[in-house]
Structure 1
Amino acid sequence: MAQRLSLGQLRVQEVRHRDGRRSHTIFDSASGVHAGADRYLMPYAGKGSDRTYAYLLVDHLRWLDREALDPATVHFQDLERYMGAVGAKISRPFGAPWRVGKKPYGNSALRGAAACLKGFYLKQGELGINRELADVLDVRRMPTKRDRERSMLGHLTRSMDANPLAPKEERRRHKKMLPDGAREMILEEVNSARDRLVVEWLSDGGFRIGEMCGLHLCDLHLREDACEECRQPHVHVCHREGLANGARAKTKWPWEFTDGMIRGGLIKRVSPAMIHAYFDYMTGEYPRGAAHGMFLVQQHGPDRGLPWAPEGARKMLKRAGYRAGLGLIRPHMFRHTWANAVLDAADGNLVIVRDAGGWASTDVVDEIYAHIDVNDPAFNAALLATWGEMQ
């Protein structure tokens, strides 16, 4: 939960509902729930994006407070100024910097902030508040070739929403992967069967850390012919809201629990090394009688035996990485390394990587991973042939 700052005295507040769902709103220490922010965030509750938008919006509202501006009277030029202050590349002076001591937003975060601001002020405009600004933001554009490729059969002729606050989209760079030999070096530094399991499963399964920490024992089908959906050992990654450890799978594939068995969700294959790590952990460390039924559990402290939070896994890998002399190791580095290896093994087949990793589109896989290594022998041979140097 965000700490209250002196500027604006606004904070993000998590709301826990009776049915187990969690949503986020913005709380003002002087007046209670921020009505405008709550109206905007409410439709996103339970969809996985309300938390992100809440933190983006609270930063903007704090900036308005510092600049003595009001959402009901702020102008488009003020929003441009804010986007510049958090990292947008706009060629004009912006005065005192914002978010001192923090990294400026990257391109992806800037585009998210632009979407958040547009949605917030359009919602204000629907209520008759600052209609002038809403009209400036409510613009349209013609679809691009990429838009048409993403649409079914390419039949996209209508105009599309545009955002005058958003920076130009940058092509995503190749993400940082694990150093060579990192898996073995980290395995030597971890201290328990659970931690070894995390390293093996991240390495061979390509999991997001939220997916792993959200797994239940019933999601694991680790023997052949365990269910009709996949004959090989596998797990079902199921999106669940309101888990005790705050974990949540990003993918939202439909799933159900019927006749004592999980069906649906994102199916991910399991390697023999993953199964071996599973048995070591379950037979040696998993607490008996755990009523929550979740896979990864705390091993120390007053919360021993309770579900393990994703932040705990991140800290464990961070400590192990530094002990191994590898520097900062993040869980997602395993996923990038895994995806690159699968792409190489699949001879560049983007569909295989997309389905194995649970990405929504091959475009994401193509932009991040489908790049040739300049040291690859095939790459070198192709250039030599082009230059007429092939012997």
Structure 2
Amino acid sequence: MAMRVVVGDLRVQRIDRRSGRRSWTIVWPEGTEHREADRFLREHDGSGTQRTYAYLLVDHLRWLERECLTLDRVVLRDLERYMGIVGAEVTMPLGEPWRAGKRPYGHAALSTTAACLKGFYLHQAALGVNAELGRRLDKRRLPTRVDRRRAFLGHTTSSMPANPLAPSGLRRRHPKMLPDGARDRLLASVRSARDRLVVTWLADGGLRIGELCGLHLVDLHLREDAACGQCRSPHLHVCHRPDNPNRAEAKTKHPWRVEDDAVTGGLVKRVSPAMIHTYFDYMSTEYRCGRADHGMLLVQLHGVGAGLPWAPVGARRMLARAGDRAGLGKVRPHQFRHSFTSAVLDASDGNLLIARDAGGWASAAMVDEVYGHVDVHDRAFDAALRRVWEQRR
């Protein structure tokens, strides 16, 4: 079954497979696939990146149609001009019909767009299309101090990939973090134990909303010395399950399995005392065991769907309403993740490895392998998380 999302002439199409997995591609108005885009997107099949790249790429392809440019005629200057247009805060002289009514890209969106376009045109160059543009994009640079700190074997690295389309300026603090005191104000404005759990787990765990809504009860090891043997302290396992009934799934795909009724593997994330407290409050007051044969953590509380798995869109709407009541404006789940990572960096004196493992982040420079890994038993890792949790109590 395929679900079409119309985006002007070219459109992004979602493909729901029988296995429960979803893929994304780009098609022409008559329904035929855009062959070049589909080949590139297939390289990211099964990942959250594929959906993001599809929506970014469809904007670019529509711009090429407007400019009467074919893939073999695009030059680096054209791509630089496109990056300037999508990030501009003013309307260009001839308007922007392919992005009518859309906001200009921010710094993070521009960085992702640069990576998408570089990958797309390098893919075309590998197929023999516009090899000159591929050479212009395939640049290298000397590693910076930050690059060397990210990799345990960084002293052996002589060069790093460079993207001439990427926006200049590195930012440690994400511009879309929560305002100071937002957590307490949100906790005061939400109206159920489940919603207090969501706010607390997003704030203290740095979870993505798909990871949180995709959790099963078996993934939670909230007592010390759990049967999995992977972490002595209370923790949870983020496991990628594409067949969840609420369509929530983890972005990362760490291997996991169930042995002796205990989950092992996945992405192991530590759990704060406040997270444990809100869990037991929710389970003892609102969790509907009679309808919870699905085994998922978050359920709907009201209506005909009470007891069924709660979808991420429901959590997003709840946070938006709570943010309006608290006077914070529209609150988005990912703001908690940015604030959590920044707080861990501050508490660990800028240790990027601790921040990466605490939040489950993956550096774009580390494509296939992470050289440095912080053990979940490490004292510095434990102290950094406890300092963050203590500050938020």
TM-score over 0.5 for the pair: yes
2:179 and 2:75 map into 1 onto residues whose CA distance is 48
Q: Aligned residue pairs: how many?
A: 356
Partners of 1:112 and 1:179 lie apart in 2 by 25
- Residue aligning to 2:49: 49
- What amino acid maps onto 1:280 in structure 2? D
Corresponding residue for residue 225 of structure 1: 225
The Cα of 1:279 is off from its aligned counterpart by 2.3
Counterpart of 2:142, as a letter, is P
**2:44 is the counterpart of 1:24:** no
Spell out, residue by residue over 1:165-194, the C-alpha distance to the aligned partner (whole angstroms, 9 max, x if none). 333243343545444443333223222221
Larger radius of gyration: 1
Aligned to 1:44, the other structure's residue is in SS state coil
Code of the aligned partner of 1:310: P
Residue aligning to 2:324:
322
2:361 is matched with 359
Closer, same or farther: CA 83–185 of 1 in aligned 2, 3 Å: closer
Deviations 1:143-182 (A, max 9, x none): 333445544241123x554433333243343545444443
Percentage of identical aligned residues: 61
Deviation, 1:341, is 4.8
Give the distance between the partners of 1:19 and 1:323, measured in 2 at CA: 41
Gap runs ≥5 in structure 2: 367-393
Conserved in 1, the CA contact under 8 Å of 2:24 and 2:54? yes
**Are 2:173 and 1:145 equivalent residues in the alignment?**
no
Q: Give the deviation of 1:283 after TM superposition.
A: 3.0
* Cross-structure match for 2:12: 12
With structure 2 as the length reference, what TM-score do the two structures score? Answer: 0.79
Structure 1: give runs of 5+ residues left out of the alignment: 365-391
Contact preservation (8 Å) 2:300, 2:310: yes
Contact 1:193 1:285 in 2 (8 A): yes
Q: 2-side partners of 1:296 and 1:323: how far apart? A: 22
Distance 2:33 2:185 in 1: 49
1:262 match: 263
User: C-alpha separation between the residues in 2 aligned to 1:42 and 1:13?
Assistant: 13
Tell me the C-alpha RMSD between the 2 structures: 3.0
2:129 is matched with: 129
Deviates more, 1:323-332 or 1:69-78: 69-78
Change (3 A) 1:345 1:134: closer
| CA distance in 2: counterparts of 1:148 and 1:345, whole angstroms | 21
**Per-residue Cα deviation, 1:337-359 (whole angstroms, up to 9, x for no partner):** 44455555556655544433333
Alignment match, 1:115? 115
Aligned twin of 1:245: 246
Deviation at 1:38, TM superposition (A): 0.7
Cα distance 1:134–1:305, how it changes in 2: closer, same or farther (>3 A)? same
Q: 1:153 to 1:320 in 2, by over 3 A?
A: closer
Aligned amino acid, residue 96 of structure 1? G
Question: Offset at 1:39?
Answer: 0.5
Distance 2:243 2:129 in 1: 34
Partner of 1:96: 95
Q: Any idea what SS the aligned residue of 2:263 has?
A: strand
- Secondary structure of 2:43's counterpart equals helix
Q: Secondary structure at the match of 1:18?
A: coil
TM-score of the two chains, using structure 1 as the length reference: 0.79
Task: After TM superposition, give the deviation of residue 324 of structure 1 in Å.
Answer: 1.9
Distance 1:128 1:358, change over 3 A: closer
